[in-house]
Structure 1
Amino acid sequence: MTGAHAALVLAALVLLVVGVLSLGASRVRTLSRRVGSFECAFSRATDPNAPWIAGIGQYGADRLYWWRWWSLVPRPTRSWLRSRMFVIEHHAVADARGYEGQLVVRCRTDDDTFDLLMSAEAYAGLASWLESAPPAARHVI
């Protein structure tokens, strides 16, 4: 491979990396500017050693959507039905390394238990959103 070919390959790789990083940054910016969005990390409640995965939550009419912070996937990584989601408990972060002022919110759905890490303000929004859900229609005739 000549020097010119190597330079072209290197330039193409740099452009590819810059393009992917630009798409990721644009996605994060777009998600974080949506109405009803908030910063929120996710972790499996069933595994105490599970890492926190940074992300963005967004309230929908009947679902809470969660997107992984750095990903190129256009759809939410997870979503939970509002009518099936319950907050079991919440508490301040015990290990505050970088998480000062954050709350761990343990949630449950029919088949899943998970933790969300969010600010106190975001928790107030989540609690209000869950409490303000319209009553489920039962046996409509």
Structure 2
Amino acid sequence: MSDSQLFEDTFTITSINSQKYDRVSRISCTSTDNLTTFTLDINTELYPCAVGESLSMALASTLSLDGKDEDNAASRGWRDVGMGEHTLANEYDYVCHGKVYRFEEGSTSGNMSVFVSFGGLLLYMDGPYNKLVPLRIDYVYLLLKK
């Protein structure tokens, strides 16, 4: 895990609820060590998912491979990268930018819960404090790959 990556783990999709919206589904996943779970609203038109699939998920503070802050990202847009410029997003299939907005005590002792909004698509994570402690109320990138 690089300096810019705040969290990284591998998960298995345990359920998919696509009843409420046409192109958005709520997926529930459990980590391979069964310690961390997350529920995520995802655009399944862009990133189709199936129960039982394995996903690699990362949360990062920047897409820069050297971990430098993106001071000018607000002025030029996070997707506007130079020709041939390689970022963390190149290594993943699905990328969102959002804000960590709330923390709570987790479902069990020693766990914490984290809430992130990606422009209305929500992420809820529950896991051991020591795995989620790098997260803070700030902007993050969600990165997924199969």
The TM-score bracket by the shorter chain reads 0.3 to 0.5
Q: Which has the higher helix share?
A: 1
Q: Which has the higher strand share?
A: 2
Higher-Rg structure is 1
Compare relative contact order (CA 8 Å, sep 6+) and give the higher one, 1 or 2: 2
